[in-house]
Structures are given as structure tokens and as C-alpha cells.
Structure 1
Amino acid sequence: MAKVQGLPARAAALRMLDAVLRRGETLEMAERAFAKGLTQSDRGLARAIASETLRWLVDLDALIDGATKQRLPDDAKPRTVLRMMLAQVLRLDTPPHAAIATGLELLDGGPRRLAHGVFSALTKQGAGLPEVPTLPAALVVRWGERATAIAAALADPPPLDIALKDWSATDRWAGELGGISLAPGHVRLPRGTAVERLAGFEEGEWWVQDLAASLPARLLGRGEGRAVLDLCAAPGGKTLQLAAAGWRVTSVDKSLKRLDRLVENLERTGLAAEVVAADALTWEPSARWDAILLDAPCTATGTCRRHPDVLHRIGPRQIEEMAELQAAILDRATSWLTPGGMLVFATCSLEPEEGEMQAARVSLAPFPVASDELPAGLEPTAEGWLRTDPAMLADAGGLDGFFAARWRRAA
């Protein structure tokens, strides 16, 4: 199989898609499992094929169904291979002959002839994709009036955002790296940028972090030596923000592997935090904090621009499970504040069960978000909460979907 040039990447992409669509695994997990051993370029190609297939899955299936007399089952191997072949030609500018040569090698016998016939018919017809991906019907119902705008924001992978250790150097780094800044301490670069090769990376001057993901920590302001708990902290972007803003940070997460990344980033940036491996549901802290940032585990549907697997593997069951977990952690965290202490709760989810509905049940005194705390073009909700989605700041490249709310404990 590996004798055909480019085949290992396609074989890995096929396995990745099967893991996401049939077993409900994340694309990141699937990539680690099935792309290991590939060259860097083949691994990138496998990820790109799988990502674009998932991003345009509904529309790719519509093309396939329009060219077959009998509908292929959703989990049929020929359907997935056809999805990949079409995604390569229509989204990744792969020549049709290369898509055929590598795609058909993944099939045998009748399925191979079927895939060849359907693909050839579609390419001869000049079949194409719409300008905007079609969302699965369940998402249109869940996301309501924002669904159309969000879909438009998913047409292309997002740009690269970085967060700066020193906000006063924003203009310098934007100029040196050839990017734009949408907020102090933020620089946005074109997608496809090789992070490790950029100036300032090895020196620890910045780290990769979506603009929306940086907003919850910004809501805590300057630390001035006060103590903050970063709960569910890994992989560590918010810990780095808080440490750079002068907080004495305690970072807690139960994932040792993800904490390793946090420690690596602390070492690279020269920032400091106390790192604790513990489960927030069972951990019994001996201290209280002046501030707590709870970026709670969630379905991560707000990250659909760069993780299109969430469009297809997240449903009511996963949302309900995550909401129950968030409520349990939130209830515990509210008791760990010092008098007058601040709590920020955040999730990278577009689901109200994981955002607005969680905030509505917190009994602490609201500390509303103000307009001047947010990048230009974003405004707090009527409740004083923060809600972003991928369609916001679209002219500047968009941002992830996030929810955040803030409270103070009575003095």
C-alpha cells in the first residue's frame, strides 16, 4: 500500500475520520493514534484532508447522494473515501488523478469501481461546493438565529493568534511578525504560519492562544502579587497570562500529560506557577484565593473553526454530561474565594447549557463585564456576561466561541 506516493497520509486520514464519525473520538486524539510515524508533511496532509472533510461533510454527502442510485450507508467505507477524494479536489487543490490514485487504493473490488464511477461523474459535471458550509440540522436548531453567520465563519480554517508576555511590546511584535493586533498583548498572523520558526518563540516572548480564549483571564486584571487559582488549567495559556499579569498562580488539572505541556511553556517563557495534579471534584485545597479562573471542561463547540469534528460528534448527551460536571466544579470553586475575591467562569462552548444557564445559578454578587475590557467590536450581554461566537470580528478573521461571567464574593 505504501508504494503509492501520498498513500500513507490518505490511509491515516481515513482512520482518523472513522474514529471521529463512528467512535466519537476527537480529531486530535485520532491524529495522535493514526498519524504517528508519518513525516511532518504527510501528517499535516492527513490532518488537512480529515479537517476539510469534516468541515464540508454535509455538502460532500449531498454531492455523493446526488450521483448514486442507491444511498450509501453513512459509515460505508466507499462513502468516506469519496468524501476524502472530493475534499482534496474541491478544497485542497489536489489534481483529480492524484485523488483517484490514492483514494482507490484504499478500496477493493466493487467498492473501488463504485467510487471511481461516482468521482468521475462528479468531476466531469464540474461539481462544486457552496460558498458556506452547510451545518448539520441539529446544530441549526441548537444555534438558532446565529447558525447562518457561524456557518459562514467556518468556510476556512482560522488565522493564528498569539498572546504576548509583555503587552507593552504589542506594536513591536505585530510589526516584526507581520501581523495585526486586535487588543493589547495580542497579535494575529495568517494561518499556516510555522510557529516554532517565528522570532520570539524560543525566547518565550509569546504563546499560541486564540483571542477569545485570552479574554477570561483578562477579566481578572492585574495581579499585583495576589493569589489566583487557575482551575482546570492545562494546557496552560491562561496560567501564562495570569503569571505575566503579576498574579501568584496555582494551576490545577487532573491530566498529567497536559500539565507537562503547561510546565514546558512555563520553562520556555520564564514564568512561574505552582502546578498541582488533582481532580477538581475531589481536591481539598488548604488555602483560599483572591481570584479563581475556572475554564471548565466542556464540549468545545466554540472551537469548531479549527476543530470541525465537534460539528459531528457532539449532541445532547455530551452537552448534558458536561453541564453536570461544570455545575459540580463551579459549586466547589465558589467556596474557595477569600472575602471580596473574584470568580471568572468560562467555557469554549456555544451551548447555553454550558454558559448562560450555568451563570444564572451562581449565588455570588455579579461583577459585570464592561465594554472597555473587551476588544473593539465586542460588547457584553445585557446581563454583563461575555459571549463570543465564530462569526464575530469576521472582517478581522473571526474568533472562537466563548462564554465568560464574573462575580465577587461578599467582603
Structure 2
Amino acid sequence: MAARAAAVRLLHEVLTLGRSLDEVFARQVQALAPPDRALAHALAAQALRWLVDLDRLIDSASARPLPADARARQVLRIALAGRLRLKTPMHATIATALALLQGGPRRLCHAVLARLDREGATLPELPTLPVAWAERWESRFKPSALEAMRAALGTIPPTDLSLRNPDETTSWATRLAGQSIEPGHVQIAGSQRVEALPGLAEGAFWVQDLAARQVVRRLGDVGGRPVLDLCAAPGGKTLQLAAAGAHVTAVDRAAYRMARLEAHLARTGLSARTVVADLLEWEPDQLFGFILLDAPCSATGTFRRHPEVLARRHPRELPGLAERQRQMLARSANWLAPGGRLVYAVCSLEPEEGEEVVERTAGQGLALLATERLLPGTGPGDGFFIATFAKAGA
């Protein structure tokens, strides 16, 4: 019961208050035992992955539509996620759902669940993408790519780890019962309680999506060189750069996120200079031969790990995000030394935040070397747009 109550609260914070699941999870489950924490997360995550299809079932069995933010709808989402995805017995599904609606529309909830069970309701083979995003992507991506994206939404992704010492890749892959796709990387099947993994406390690795690793690699050999890492927190790319021997200056405007980065540096024994500042107001005291700008964005490419992003975000936000990204890229270009390299990246699938930002930055003294788009389901991990620029030598 406690786990399901926590899962309902998680859905409320994510879908009604617009917060990320990672942001609210620890606070909502801190009083629960580890098994109940895991169940609460599993229920909420499955409800978010299959949100469109669960709502379709709820609406098909309701005499009148429930408001999107109604507690009864949240309870039904969690109940059906447990029943249809985690195979909770029907009697337990109904009993726990009704207990979560003390003083609420219990008869309605019971009727919806009983009807769906009586009619043998099922979910589709792959989850349905939200209309606002599906309509955009259908015009841009091949049907096979869209199917792969739906499969990625419905599948719990593996856990990717980056190693402090790439020479230990084979030994850590063996110790963690994982596989390595490239030196310095280990992938473990399914979601993991990372804090319980051997090696974490002594700083042998950190969690970092495999696609995010590719962003850093586009800078080339940074060993012994000054690198400016902008919008750096929570720090996976900063750690990757530091582990490669770069002298990193990491800048982020969020103090609480920078605190997390500093904690990761302390745990791994890696070093970087950290600066809490808004890069649109900050000014460095030197030029850099390498700059990485992983700009804040809609994050639509991260839905395999953060399924709530497709519900929290809407295409109407894109113009504002794109304008800020353009400003960041233009300002960053001023800090690149002659002959230097700048990588601009967003974990977004939207051209407004990728190709169009690059086009609008023409004339900033940068030569575009390459662009690439990584898609969730067919690429190495999350979806990314990556652009690599160079500045002419003196």
C-alpha cells in the first residue's frame, strides 16, 4: 500500500506540478523500505511510459471523463500499470486502488477496473507516443525509426557507466557482470541501485549515458589542454574530460547542481575548476582551445530514461528554448581560441534546437565541421544533436 501511495504522489508531482521523476523521487520515498521504493518507482515509471494507452483505457471505461489532474485518474493509472505491466493480481489491484481513494470516487474507480478486467483489456505491443510529439516526428523520421523509438519508450534502458580509468574496462565489466562497448565504458542490463554497486563509493565510475560520451569524444584529444565545459552540471561530461587529462573549467548557473558535480569530483578523485554563473552574464579570463556547450533544451531525446519528458514538455516551448541556445552558442564562440574546436550539443530530437540553431549562428567566426543526429532506439543511447565547429587559426 505504501509503495502505491508513493507512486500516486510521484505522478501528481510529475504530471500536475511539472517536476521530473528524478527530482521528486528521493523526497517522496525516503520513509519507505528499499523494496517499496523500488516498487513505487517501477509503478510510476511504467505509468509514464504507457501514459497515452492507460488514459485511453480509463476513458473507454468511464461514463464521464475524469480531469487529467484528478486523483482518481492518477490512482487508476497506477493500478492499471501494476495490473497490466507488473502483473499484480486483480483482487489486489482493486483493493489497493480503493484504499487510496478514501473520501473519493471509489465506486467509479471500482467500476472502471472491473469493466476493463471483464473485457480483457490489454495494452498494445508498443506504447503510443503523445500526439504532440508523434505528429512532429512522423513527418521527419522513417517509420522504422519511429517504431524503434516506441520500443525504446516501452523498455527499461540499461545502466551505462563511465570509468575513471579506461585501462580497467575489462576487469570492471567482469566484476559488474556487464559488457563494454568502448574503452572506459561498462553497460549493465536493466535499472540498477547504483549506490549499491561495488566500486561506486571509491570513485571507480559514474553514471553516464553512452550517447553523452560521444559528445565529449567529438572534441578530440584534450589531454593536458584547457577545456571550457558550459552548462556542465550534474557533471558526467566534466568527469569524462577530467579523466582524459583535460584541465577543465566547468560552468553552470545552478548552485545545487554544481554541488552535485563537486561531490562527484570528490568521490572520483578527479579535479576541475567549478564556477557557478549564467554563461550569458559570465566572462572568462582567457580563451580556450576546446569548448563544450551541452545546452539546456527540451530533452525530448531522453525519454527512454526519463519517460515523463514527453508529458512535461510541449512543442510550444521550443522557440524560447532555441533563442536561448542561439545566444549561448554565439556567446561561447567569442571564447574559442584561434584554431580551437567547439562542440554544441542538445539531447533533443527537435530541429529548432539543433539544425536551426546552427544555421542561425552562421557568421560568428566558426566553421562548421560536422553535424550528426543520434536517435533513441537506433543510436547508442539517448537522442542527441551534435555540431562540431572550428575557428580559423591566427
If the TM-score is normalised by the length of the shorter chain, which range does it land in? Answer: over 0.9
Match of 1:29 among 23, 32, 50: 23
> Contact conserved, 1:288 with 1:337, CA < 8 A, in 2?
yes
Q: Counterpart of 2:372 in structure 1: which amino acid?
A: L
Sort the Cα spacing of 1:109 and 1:271 in 2 relative to 1 into closer, same or farther, 3 A: closer
> How far apart are residue 110 of structure 1 and its match?
6.4
Task: Indicate if the aligned counterparts of 1:342 and 1:409 stay in contact, CA closer than 8 A.
Answer: yes
Task: Note if contact 1:139-1:147 (Cα within 8 Å) is conserved in structure 2.
Answer: no
Q: Matches of 1:366 and 1:390 in 2, distance apart?
A: 28
1:103 is displaced (CA, Å) by 1.5
TM-score of the aligned structures, taking structure 1 as reference length? 0.89
Deviation at 1:170, TM superposition (A): 2.1
- Residue of structure 2 in register with 1:43 after alignment: 37
User: Gaps spanning 5+ residues in structure 2: where?
Assistant: none
Deviation by residue 1:175-198 (Cα, 9 ceiling, x = unmatched) = 222111222221110113332332
* CA contact 1:222–1:246 (8 Å) conserved in 2: no
CA distance in 2, matches of 1:88, 1:115: 15
1:227–1:249 Cα contact (<8 Å) kept: yes
- 1:88 paired residue among 60, 77, 82: 82
- Amino acid aligned to 2:315: P
Q: Which residue of 2 aligns with 1:389?
A: 375
Q: Are the aligned partners of 2:295 and 2:325 in contact in 1 as well (CA < 8 Å)?
A: yes
Aligned to 2:390: 408
From 55, 73, 93, the counterpart of 1:79? 73
Q: Superposed, which structure 2 residues align to 1:131-170 within 5 Å?
A: 131-144=125-138, 145=141, 146-170=145-169
Residue in structure 2 matched with residue 311 of structure 1 by the alignment: 310
Preserved CA contact (<8 Å) 2:15 2:312: yes
Distance 1:36 1:319, change over 3 A: farther
Contact conserved, 1:344 with 1:404, CA < 8 A, in 2?
yes
Counterpart position of 1:273: 272
Displacement, 1:55? 0.8
SS in 1 for 2:329: helix
What is the correspondence of 1:292-371 to structure 2 with a 5 Å cutoff?
A: 292-363=291-362, 364-366=365-367, 368=369
Q: How does 1:172-211 map to 2 (within 5 A)?
A: 172-211=171-210
Aligned equivalents of 1:121, 1:42: Cα separation in 2: 28
Once the 2 structures are TM-superposed, how far is the Cα of residue 33 of structure 1 from its aligned partner?
4.7
User: Which whole-Å CA distance do the structure 2 matches of 1:153 and 1:39 have between them?
Assistant: 29
How far does the alpha carbon of each residue in 1:79-126 deviate from its partner, in whole angstroms, 9 at most, with x for none?
A: 221111000111122222332222112214561011112112212332
Shift of 1:216: 0.8
Deviation per CA, 1:24-62: give whole Å up to 9, x if none: 222233335533433333333222222111110111112
AA aligned opposite 1:49:
L
Moved more, 217-226 or 231-240: 217-226
| C-alpha distance in 1 between matches for 2:13 and 2:316 | 18
Q: Provide the aligned C-alpha RMSD in A.
A: 1.8
Give the 3-state SS of the residue equivalent to 1:294 in structure 2: strand
Q: 1:272 to 1:109 in 2, by over 3 A?
A: closer
Kept in 2: contact 1:205–1:269 (CA 8 A): yes
Distance 1:199 1:405 in 2: 36
Count of matched residue positions in the alignment of Structure 1 and Structure 2: 386
* TM-score of the pair, normalised by structure 2: 0.93
Q: Counterparts of 1:204 and 1:80 in 2: how far apart (Å)?
A: 39
Identity %: 52
Q: What's the offset of the Cα at 1:400? A: 0.7
- Are 2:247 and 2:272, in contact at CA under 8 Å, matched by a contact in 1? yes
**Contact 1:221/1:245 (<8 A) preserved:** no
**Structure 1, unaligned runs of 5 or more:** 1-5, 369-383
SS of 2:172's equivalent in the other structure is: helix
